[in-house]
């Protein structure tokens, strides 16, 4: 079994453009557009899963680990919603950008330059976010096994990724990278995309039980991402640890 889930080629790819994490019109513009639906989905599902009544700081008292946090695009909103947030990323440049941005905004987020299999935490987490990361790692099974070890019993793990279909190749790679130029060419490799049924099987092996699975679709007319029954391109899954 591999002792690392880090794919150096993938890390180098994102390190090169790390300075642009917080530019809404830069290389990460698609992720900025994607962020509102991700935040809304996580918030609603956590309120439901943990039966939360506090509307002011709904995620207060929850410890969240954001894996592959990049520049902190998701860590910061989770912190603002009241959660105690830790972000980890295998790119030291990403972590530097994330730390600087959090400091500028007076947000207490702990960031570490590491991967889940090497991350040592004295306490396990209530929630783990694996958003748009598993299609960039080595050995998905080992990656999820390492993540599951960091999650409390009955904890929630969110996984957002791309389905391995002809449609995802046409839209996410040919369309988004080559035609619309939303993403730098080479951002994604279709071979690394994961079918929902494969993700569920791997997760079950690591004591993670599927609780919900939703498609996410981009509407060109409204220029917004919405939840959808269509899981053929992007999807988000919510798992609970047995």
Convert the pLDDT of each residue in 44-103 to its tens digit.
Answer: 999 999 999 987 899 999 999 999 999 999 999 999 999 999 999 999 999 999 999 999
Q: Look up the pTM and report it.
A: 0.94
Taking the domains of the chain in order of start, what are their residue ranges?
8-241
Q: Listing from the earlier edge strand, what are the strands of the sheet with 63-67? A: 110-113, 84-89, 63-67, 125-131, 151-162, 234-241, 208-219, 224-228
Alpha-carbon gap, residue 179 to 196, rounded angstroms: 27
Residue range 109-131, pLDDT digits in tens? 999 999 999 999 999 999 999 99
Q: Could you give phi then psi for residue 62, rounded to 5 degrees?
A: -90, 135
Give me the pLDDT at residue 185, please. Answer: 83
What's 121's DSSP letter? -
Indicate if the pLDDT at residue 3 is higher than 80: no
| Distance of alpha carbon 203 from alpha carbon 62, whole angstroms | 22
Structure tokens at 114: 């590491």
State in words which class domain 8-241 has: alpha beta
| pLDDT at 227 exceeding the cut of 70 | yes
pLDDT value at residue 56: 84
Grouping H, G, I as helix, E, B as strand and the rest as coil, residue 19 is helix
d(CA 183, CA 176): 6
Tokens encoding 103: 């400091």
Of 28-37, 85-94, 159-168, 172-181, where does mean pLDDT reach its minimum? 172-181
Averaged over 203-230, what is the pLDDT? Answer: 94
Tell whether the model's pLDDT for residue 180 goes beyond 80.
no
């Amino acid at each position: 079994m591999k002792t690392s889930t880090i794919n150096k080629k993938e890390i180098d790819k994102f390190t090169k453009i790390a300075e642009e994490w917080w530019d809404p019109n830069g290389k990460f513009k698609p992720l900025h557009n994607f962020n509102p639906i991700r935040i809304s989905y996580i918030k609603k599902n956590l309120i439901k899963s943990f039966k939360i009544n506090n509307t002011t700081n709904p995620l207060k008292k929850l410890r969240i680990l954001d894996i592959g946090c990049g520049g902190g695009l998701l860590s910061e909103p989770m912190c603002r919603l009241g959660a105690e947030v830790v972000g980890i990323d295998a790119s030291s440049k990403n972590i530097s950008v994330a730390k600087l941005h959090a400091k500028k905004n007076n947000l207490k987020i702990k960031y570490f330059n590491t991967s889940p299999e090497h991350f040592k935490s004295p306490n396990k987490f209530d929630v783990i976010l694996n958003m748009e990361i598993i299609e960039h790692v080595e050995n998905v099974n080992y990656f999820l096994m390492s993540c599951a070890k960091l999650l409390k019993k009955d904890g929630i793990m969110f996984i957002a990724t791309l389905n391995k279909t002809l449609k995802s190749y046409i839209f996410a790679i040919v369309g988004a990278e080559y035609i619309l130029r939303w993403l730098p060419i080479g951002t994604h490799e279709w071979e690394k995309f994961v079918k929902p049924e494969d993700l569920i099987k791997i997760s079950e092996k690591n004591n993670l039980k599927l609780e919900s699975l939703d498609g996410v679709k981009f509407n060109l007319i409204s220029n917004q991402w919405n939840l959808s029954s269509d899981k053929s391109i992007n999807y988000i899954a919510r798992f609970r640890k047995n």
